Amino acid sequence: MLSWLGEKVDPTKYLLGYALVVLLAVSEAFPMSLSALIGAALLVAFGVSDGAISFDKALSFVDLELLALLIGVMVVVEVVDRCGTFRYLALKVVRKALRRPALLLIATGLMSALTSLLLSDEAALLLIVAILLSLGKAGGFDPIPLAVTSAIMVNLGGTGTLIGSVPNMAVGIKAGFSFPEFASYLLPCEFALYGVTLALLFLYYRGKLRLGFKELELEEIEVSRVDVAKGAFLLFLMLSLLVAAGIAEFPASAAALASAIAALALSGFDTLEVFQRLDWDTVFFTAAFTVIIGVLESVEALKGLALWLQGAAGGSIALASFLVLFVSGAASLLLPNLIVALSFIPVIEDLPFADKRPLWSSLVLGSNLGGVGLPVSSFVIVMTIGALRREGYEIDPWSITRIGIPLTAAWLAFSAIYLLIRFGLL
Amino acid sequence: MTSEGASAVKVVKERAAAVAAYLVVALGFYMLSLVLPPFMSGLRMPGLPDPVARFDWLFWAFLFLLAFVFTATAIYDALRMLDPLFNVLSSKFGSAVRPGKRIARDIAYALFVALTAIALAPFTEPLGQAAPIARALIGVGTLLILLFLLYDAAKTIYAYVRDKIEEAVAKLVR
């Protein structure tokens, strides 16, 4: 029996249910969504039979605002992707930078990070790595440094905006951050990290970036310029509505849904086909995991972590922010970052600080930045290795770890300094 | 039936026959260990303490050891009979995976089964007098599945460690 709970409910089986979800997800026994649904069903059954919650209460834990934001953004991004806008822009940028190795590395990195601000990490990586591999074949250069740079920057990209990643949406909505407010806290840090990362990667790879171009036979960009413009307009519309939502104080989820409806109506694509291509695994995982966290909160099962953080911080918001940053960063090395973010949200809500902006920002940074330390922690790293091997390039997974671990440490250390300065924690 | 299924059935049939044969032999030696040693009672080796000085005890220990070895072989073969079943099950839950992931999955499934049993137990209350029977059925079923999963995890750990040791020994010998 865990002692902090008092007399009401023993949280051990609830925590074991949480551990089960993590284990099922990490061992890839089932898809993420099914793992979370199994865990949610078990925890709700425990909660109902212990009299801690009712079934209606359990359903109320599903965060509809978060789901609306998530689905709205997914629809817009899917439509824009179908318009070919991302592919067109990526090919344009790479062609411009083609004959200068340093510029190509920087352009690849920036393009990867900026694309992942909107696309999912996996989709952004597939897009960029496919272009790099076709250029590698055509130009006879080693695409490994550029592909690894792309994977690392895709992981970094999307840290600074409310819609940049699902953990950001979850944290932003709970924290009550609008789109501009979220960006004002985190986007400067993300841009600064781009500079730090690209400089370190350039130093690491500079000896391997010699390009041996012959006459290139690059693939033609087969997209309609009208569609590309349509996609760019829809992106602009969504970003404008999200900024307007922040200013006029209406929910970001409403702006995302309005953008999604506009995108479906204006694009002319088959709506059902667009729906079929959405990442429902993430949607259902998010819904089920918010129920799990809701039940854990009801039985105060996460209170131990909150109490530990509170005790360790000793009333200092700076120390508490650092602890959230480094503990969530370390946890993201091993666990999917959405699990880390969703698990820390109630912990931060429990902490007795009046201004929690530094804590929320720490959680966003920690859960986003821990992803490239180990091959097991990042699906984008695994995808990069797979894509390179399929094309006949041999790459040792641990060679990425040798870059990933120091980079993650540098990112977290830099973020700690940023938080000190940005929120005046000194 | 697929070729995989057919070979699984063949392995099960072979091992079942072996288990039966080993058990019969083990039982035979055990019976002999009860019957024959008394004929040697009274014979002793000089200068040794009991029980090793007694010929009847030494003969009993010899026969009992044989019975024990054949029983252990029967148990080992019975466990091997489960292997095709595990292979079929693991192919149902996804193709062959690395040992670490397979162990993690076994532990996850075991945890899932145990927690499901805990979650189901309170919902047997409306069954009235049948509730204890339902709970016992859930408990026994859970225990069997847990043993099954933990055996698979143990087998995977054993095979992994054995392979690593063999690799290390091969390197040392070179």
Give pLDDT, residue A6.
Answer: 47
Cβ of residue A27 closer than 8 Å to a chain B Cβ: yes
Residue A141 has pLDDT above 70, yes or no: no
- Confidence (pLDDT) at A2: 46
Report, as an integer, the average pLDDT of A260-272: 93
Q: Does A29 touch chain B (CB under 8 A)?
A: yes
Flag if A29 and B93 touch (Cβ within 8 Å).
yes
Do B112 and B74 belong to one domain? no
**Of the ranges A169-183, A214-228, B40-54, which one carries the lowest mean pLDDT score?**
A214-228
Confidence of residue A3 (pLDDT cuts 50, 70, 90): very low
pTM, two decimal places: 0.74
Mean pLDDT of chain A: 84
* B43, B58: one domain: yes
**Same structural domain for residues B7 and B29?**
yes
The pLDDT value recorded for residue B5 is 63
Please determine, for residue B147, whether its predicted confidence score (pLDDT) is greater than 80: yes
Give the three-state DSSP class for A53. Answer: coil
* pLDDT tens profile A113-135: 888 877 767 777 777 887 777 77
Q: What is the DSSP letter of B44?
A: B
- Both B17 and B87 in a single domain? yes
Q: Is A91 on the interface with B (CB under 8 A)?
A: no
Asked if A24 and B94 come within 8 Å (Cβ–Cβ), the reply is no
Chain A contact present for B98, CB below 8 A: no
* Total domains, chain B: 2
Q: Do B85 and B101 sit in the same domain of this protein?
A: no
B119 touches chain A (CB under 8 A): yes
- Boundary-marking domain end, from B94, B123, B149: B94
Flag if B111 and A49 touch (Cβ within 8 Å): no
Tens of pLDDT, residues A10-40: 888 999 999 999 888 878 788 889 999 999 9
Q: Is A53 on the interface with B (CB under 8 A)?
A: no
Q: Does B93 touch chain A (CB under 8 A)?
A: yes
Summarize pLDDT for A396-414 with one digit per residue, the tens.
Answer: 777 777 788 888 899 999 9
Last residue of a domain, one of B69, B94, B119: B94
Contact B111 A16 (CB under 8 A): yes
Q: What is the pLDDT of residues B16-49, one digit of tens each?
A: 888 999 999 999 999 999 999 998 888 888 888 8
Residue B94 with chain A: CB contacts under 8 Å: 28-29
Task: Kindly determine whether residue A26 and residue B111, on different chains, have CB atoms separated by under 8 Å.
Answer: no
Q: Per 3-state DSSP, what percentage of chain B is helix, strand, and coil (rounded to 5)?
A: 85, 0, 15
pLDDT of A263: 94
From chain B, pick out residues whose CB is under 8 angstroms from the CB of A19: 111
On whether both B23 and B77 belong to a single domain, the answer is yes
CA angle A181, A185, A186 (to 5 degrees): 115
Give yes or no: residues B25 and B76 share one domain: yes
Query: What domain range includes position B5?
Result: 1-94
Instruction: List the beta strands (DSSP E) in A119-278.
Output: none
B123 and B155 share a domain?
yes
DSSP state of A218: P
Contacts with B112 from chain A: Cβ below 8 Å: 20, 24, 38, 42
B174 in the same domain as B140: yes
Confidence at residue A17, expressed as pLDDT on a 0 to 100 scale: 92
Which of A348, A387, A352, A379 minimizes the C-alpha distance to A366? Answer: A348
Quick one: pLDDT at residue A237? 92
Query: If phi over 0 gives left and psi between -120 and 50 gives alpha, with beta otherwise, what is residue B49?
Result: beta
Q: Answer yes or no: do B116 and B150 share one domain.
A: yes
Last residue of a domain, one of B94, B123, B148: B94
Q: Does the structure show a pLDDT above 50 at A5?
A: no
Instruction: Read off the pLDDT of each residue in A42-70 and give the average, rounded to a whole number.
Output: 92
Complete DSSP assignment for A278-329: S-HHHHHHHHHHHHHHHHHHHTTTTHHHHHHHHHHHTT-HHHHHHHHHHHHH
Q: Are residues B129 and B73 in the same domain?
A: no
Shortest Cα distance, chain A CAs vs residue B128, angstroms:
17
> Quick one: B59 and B128 in the same domain?
no
Of chain A, the percentage scoring pLDDT greater than 70 comes to: 90
pLDDT at A4: 44
